[in-house]
Chain A
């Protein structure tokens, strides 16, 4: 009788020990995960610049900031003479000369078409612009400090030669700034070292705000480009007048 009672008690004890250890492991894991989540730095170390268009920006929308629904002013720059047209309602709109200011949603991917490229008559390129973060300019100064997206002649010629060009545009940290003059003869840029991820480099030097991708994709031959190629033609705001003028919804 004593032996049976003792065995039952021991089984009860062992089962409770197992449950207790499981609870300890569970709480330890949750606590560690919570601490890691709370200390999550505002950088993109989990992302890579070679991720598909839209993947980085859509993940960024989940962060705690007023990003959803905000049209970030973007200034598209191109060589003199080149014309730019945006995808609106499933087709490319009438081309206009650059530079051109538009308002783009964060996390969406915008396909644009560049024609009349100098020294490349009859050639077209179809870059994409993905805005992954916004700026917080003072009231009335949003368009004056739009994010510049520069389509350089060299980048477009590389794309025509079959290359795939990725440019990560970032806000420079003033404490890590290079002592060079900015915005006089184009945007400052540099090449990522071999093996380096441009998004990680931009994260280390500032705050990435947009990604420009050129090359590696062609629209369907003949007919209108597919909706997948245009990434669904997300809404865009067109700027009117000078940098202090308003933006109007185009879709």
Chain B
């Protein structure tokens, strides 16, 4: 009796604790569902400090006259830049929800530049992969034989375009729909049915030989878990994927843009796994020996050769911050060799977005270069500028072309 009453008095207390924990979890879930998203990016100075001079008519993302400037201005501004640092361009309207990326709202801005989506890649035959619309990149060859890629900054122009969807219907008035109230289905006897009782059961065929008895050899399905678990074990590979394989590109071979960050993380993880990050020691059954010598170098010569650092800076600006459909917008791309060694085969590619129509023969370059255009998948053109001569450190050029906003 004591044992029974003790069990009954302890279990309600456990239930009460369990209930309180459940309520606490629920409150936590309710409070965390509308939590603030990650904060917006903050403006800050650009590493590198000075920028090369740009055309006076170039639009660098500064607000229109009379608008507040989010950049540091006045005495705290960067040297030589009283109106603030011109880059990067952070367009935005008068109000934006917290946690949203700029420019906002994205439907009202026409952007060009950068390397969105998959990172661009240059194959040995100079074919460029991963170049989406809006991308502006430059690739060049180094003295080491490498081909490097440098994207430009992103320029956004306020240029909303309105479309309409129409639907025409015929209103119906004074019309009454009549339907069947009921369906009469008379059933008539076709004929009398006679039921006769079986008097004698005659079996014409009898088993002659017992062939064999088939027994259960394998179980395809297996019950796992506890008493009420209905989980079925896997029978083949296609029945399930591992957690890290929960990507559409793995499952169906279709690349989804939302999976790009996960694919990038996976790529970094693969690099980490394949490298040796610990000191490798081989003992080989020999004891370590200390080497002592009194021979020293008579003199030490130091060569201060900086490591090779080939770099190309690509800056893109637009001629206007606002544009209506039909307006012309000029883009200027400035590229400079800011590294410490010559670079060659410099190629600047601007893959124009759908709503930008390249004006033929409007491209020009401050240095000797060849221009090519090619239709892209966005229904526009990709403008390609191939610089003829190598660029020495400190050298650069300016590329200009015009587009019409569709």
Residue ranges of A at the interface with B (Cβ–Cβ < 8 Å): 2, 5-6, 9-10, 12-13, 16-17, 19-20, 23-24, 27-28, 30-31, 34-35, 37-38, 49-50, 64-66, 135-141, 144-145, 147-148, 150, 155, 158, 162-175, 177-184, 187-192, 196-199, 201-202, 205-207, 209, 212, 215-216
Chain A residue with the shortest CB-CB distance to B354:
A177
Across the interface, which residues of A come within 8 angstroms of B325, CB to CB? 181-184
Q: In the complex, what's the smallest C-beta–C-beta distance from A181 to chain B, in angstroms?
A: 5
Give the docked Cα–Cα distance between A190 and B164 (Å): 7
B33-80 CB contacts (< 8 Å) to partner A: 33-34, 63-64, 66-67
Measured CB to CB, the nearest residue on chain A to B170 is A163
Q: Are B15 and A192 within 8 A (Cβ)? A: no
User: CB distance A174 to B158 under 8 Å?
Assistant: no
**Can you name 5 A-B pairs with beta carbons within 8 Å?**
A6-B5, A136-B96, A165-B167, A173-B106, A188-B161
- The residue on A at minimum CB distance from B7 is A9
- Our pick among A38, A167, A177 for the contact of B165 (Cβ within 8 Å) is A167
Structural contact, B165 and A202, CB atoms closer than 8 A: yes
Asked whether A38 lies within 8 Å of B34 as measured between CB atoms, the reply is yes
Q: How far is the CA of A38 from the CA of B245 in the complex (A)?
A: 27
A163 pairs with B169, CB closer than 8 A: yes
Say whether A216 contacts B354, CB under 8 Å. no
CB distance from B289 to the nearest CB of A (A): 67
Q: Are A166 and B166 in touch, CB under 8 angstroms?
A: yes
Cα–Cα, bound, A177→B109 (Å):
12
Once the chains bind, are A138 and B158 in contact (CB under 8 Å)?
yes
Contact partner, A35, options B33, B110, B322, Cβ 8 Å:
B33
Is B355 an interface position by the 8 A CB rule? yes
Is A138's CB under 8 angstroms from B93's CB? yes
Q: For residue B1, which residues in chain A have a CB less than 8 angstroms away from its CB?
A: 2
Q: Is B4 an interface residue (CB 8 A)?
A: yes
Contact mask for chain B residues 242-271; partner A; CB cutoff 8 A; 1 contact, 0 none = 000000000000000000000000000000
- Pair A190/B162 contact, Cβ less than 8 Å: no
Q: Is B104 an interface residue (CB 8 A)?
A: yes
Across the interface, do B15 and A205 meet the contact criterion of CB distance under 8 Å? no
| A2 & B4 in contact (Cβ 8 Å cutoff) | yes
- CB-based nearest B residue for A12: B12
**CB-defined contacts of B386 to chain A, threshold 8 Å:** none
Residue pair B108, A136 in contact (C-beta under 8 Å): yes
**A170 close to B164 (CB less than 8 A):** yes
Q: Determine the distance from Cα of A181 to Cα of B405 in the docked complex, in whole angstroms.
A: 8
Other-chain residue from B30, B104, B107 in contact with A172 (beta carbon distance below 8 A): B107
Is A188 a contact of B107 with CB atoms below 8 Å? Answer: no
A145 and B324 form a contact (CB under 8 A): yes
Q: Judge if B29 is at the interface, Cβ distance under 8 Å.
A: yes
Q: With an 8 A cutoff between CB atoms, is B303 at the interface?
A: no
Evaluate contact between A168 and B11: CB separation under 8 angstroms.
no
If A140-B64, A187-B164, A216-B171 touch, does A5 touch B110 (CB 8 Å cutoff)? no
